[in-house]
Amino acid sequence: MTRRFFLASLLALSAPFRAAAAPCTRRILRLKSGAVEEVPLEDYVAAVLPPEIGRAPAAALEAQAVAARSYALARAERHLEDGADLCDGTHCQVFRGLAAATEDSRRAASATAGLVLAQGGRVIAAPFHAVCGGRTARPADVWDDEEIPDLASVSDDACLSAPGATWSFTIPRAAVTALADSLGFPGARFLEVYGHDASGRVSMVRFAAPGGASRVARGFEFRRAALELWGWASVRSTDFTVEETPPAYILSGRGTGHGAGMCQAGAIARAKRGESRDAILALYYRGASVVRLDSRG
């Protein structure tokens, strides 16, 4: 055996071992079957882009790829009790199998391979949503039950003409009782906005019952309860005003989704007008930075 041939064989042999020494896979819990599927991280990223953002220009797809990869790594312990890292539903990121990847989504994953959003030396669970409606939300105003990144609320004019940028929803007075009931306050007949966070979203909603008893719900709890009762197209965001009429409460709102992190409609509009992936990430994840995993060891 020549020395050159020996080295070549050694390299060929060692490559799979190097890969095996640093397995970058995610175990995905398939909610319907209960099966756990282990998939390479980069294939997973390419597969979640189509259900999460759909067709989009390259810069927006790549920004979404960086966010999805970060989320998948930071939220790896969410389904430990199921023997998985993430589930395949909206609770984590929508995964419909590796075959869901498209040529564009694979290109976006490979163009950003290894890039993640980090803050304080840790990969962040980068949040994203459909449409912010004019201003993103601080994650701390949206969730209080998980470790969340500290991202600034930023103003965004790029999504204002997107579907879902404005909405209205009517809650018949009789339905207020069911909504409050699902929040653990039976008998309520009235509701009012009771507080706003720094970005202007509704942070508190007060329910009242005839006789004077009242209870305050967090804005995101109010929205979650409404979505469970009436679906995603009801209270599309916590950025709304309420008008009271004799038969109903009329909510007029802006944006679709929780509002934290990247606004997907804004990212798509920005990519269309020529903004880069890095500019999009820098805007919506202000407070975090993009790093390459390898360089962090």
Q: Which residues bind Zn ion (CB under 5 A)?
A: 87, 91-92, 132, 156, 159, 263, 266
Contact 145, 91 (CB under 8 A): no
Contact 281, 290 (CB under 8 A): yes
Rounded CA-CA distance 80/236 in Å is 31
Going by C-beta distance under 8 Å and a sequence separation of 6 or more, which residues neighbour residue 35?
A: 29
Closer of 87 and 116 to Zn ion (Cβ): 87
Q: Is 39 helix (H, G, I), strand (E, B) or coil?
A: strand
Contact 178, 229 (CB under 8 A): yes
Closer of 158 and 171 to Zn ion (Cβ): 158
Closest separation in Å from C-beta 129 to Zn ion? 9
Closest separation in Å from C-beta 259 to Zn ion? 8
Closer of 81 and 103 to Zn ion (Cβ): 81
Closest separation in Å from C-beta 145 to Zn ion? 14
Phi, psi of 33 (to 5 degrees): -90, -20
Structure tokens at 106: 């694979």
Total residues found in the chain within this entry: 297
Closest separation in Å from C-beta 242 to Zn ion? 22
Closer of 158 and 217 to Zn ion (Cβ): 158
Closer of 86 and 101 to Zn ion (Cβ): 86
Closest separation in Å from C-beta 78 to Zn ion? 5
Residue owning tokens 């050694």: 10
Q: How many CB atoms lie within 10 A of CB 55?
A: 12
